[in-house]
Amino acid sequence: MIGRFEAATEIYGRKTGFTGKSGGEYREFRLDVDDAKGTHINVMTGKGASVRKWAIRWPGTSVTPWLRRNT
């Protein structure tokens, strides 16, 4: 996944996560930082009406240390 929100200069255009299937279910994990949640990983499982979403938060103000260096 590539950061697409131009105002998020820390992650714009960089690889921020990945998607896949496990147990036949779609899964998505994405690093993010915003004013409301701070630094966190967005997690999404399922699709459509059965989608479940949550955020795993940790203290900090930057996700840059968690991004791959070649992105």
Residue 39 has a CB neighbour count (10 Å cut-off) of 21
| Dist CA 52 CA 36 (whole Å) | 19
**pLDDT for the residue numbered 54:** 94
CA separation (Å) from 40 to 24, 30, 37, 67?
25, 8, 7, 13
3-state secondary structure of 11: coil
Of residues 63 and 26, the one with the higher pLDDT is 26
pLDDT in tens, 3-12: 555 556 666 6
| Dist CA 7 CA 31 (whole Å) | 15
User: Does the pLDDT at position 68 exceed 50?
Assistant: yes
pLDDT in tens, 16-57: 788 999 889 999 998 888 778 888 889 999 989 999 999 999
**What residue ranges do the domains of the chain occupy?**
19-60
**pLDDT for the residue numbered 70:** 46
**pLDDT for the residue numbered 53:** 95
